[in-house]
Chains A and B, each alone.
Chain A
Amino acid sequence: AQSVTQLGSHVSVSEGALVLLRCNYSSSVPPYLFWYVQYPNQGLQLLLKYTSAATLVKGINGFEAEFKKSETSFHLTKPSAHMSDAAEYFCAVIPSSGSARQLTFGSGTQLTVLP
């Protein structure tokens, strides 16, 4: 069974500082991986996805993530935080093959951006 772990339920950074949100997965074969963002009282919006192409994936709003098979990680980064980045971020995983392709989410990381 696949699972995803997000280290740190709350992360605070100063505006302009590096954003690093951690995600590790557990899967017998490399899965597809996703980062979603959820603003208050809104649904989830896809930031970026890894589907076995380039290991460094660029997404919207200046975010990027790198798939590292040896570390079973897919950490999300942004060089310079903006106040508008404050939101909850979810890492998610889905099997890369098979019929039971259910999206499994991590428990989320709440990002606070300090002025």
Chain B
Amino acid sequence: EAGVVQSPRYKIIEKKQPVAFWCNPISGHNTLYWYLQNLGQGPELLIRYENEEAVDDSQLPKDRFSAERLKGVDSTLKIQPAELGDSAVYLCASSSRASGSYNEQFFGPGTRLTVL
């Protein structure tokens, strides 16, 4: 079974430019997460989707960040315009709505963004 796929793996842009990251979750996983991981830190949740609905986006800086999950499968995270402080790794994860009290999250390899 394929894991969570993210692209690109690396992206270098100049500040004020737009950038987009793409995530394809594990087949059948209805929940999708975007995390921000700064260097030397643990991941922090940006947004969580249940199918196509964003159910938790309280940590998403909405002035420059946006996300979408059309049709409840793939998702795109966009930054416009990018700032120097956005340099980080952006992780995507997915989980299923399986029975039980906790649904394990499976992580993709991440996109490492460098803003110059």
Contact = CB atoms under 8 A, between A and B. Distances in A.
Nearest to B45: A102
16 contacts: A9-B40, A36-B107, A41-B110, A41-B112, A43-B4, A43-B109, A43-B110, A44-B107, A90-B43, A92-B42, A94-B102, A96-B101, A103-B105, A105-B44, A107-B42, A108-B40
B56 interface: yes
Contacts of A45: 107
Given A43-B4, A96-B101, A103 B109 contact: no
B99 interface: no
Interface of B: 4, 9, 40-45, 48, 56, 91, 93, 101-102, 104-105, 107-110, 112
B42 A105 contact: yes
A80 interface: no
Interface of A: 9, 32, 36, 41-46, 49, 51, 90, 92, 94, 96-97, 101-103, 105-108
Given A43-B4, A44-B91, A102-B56, A107 B107 contact: no
Contacts of A46: 104-105
Contacts of A106: 42
Contact of A51 (B41, B45, B102): B102
Contacts of B93: 43-44
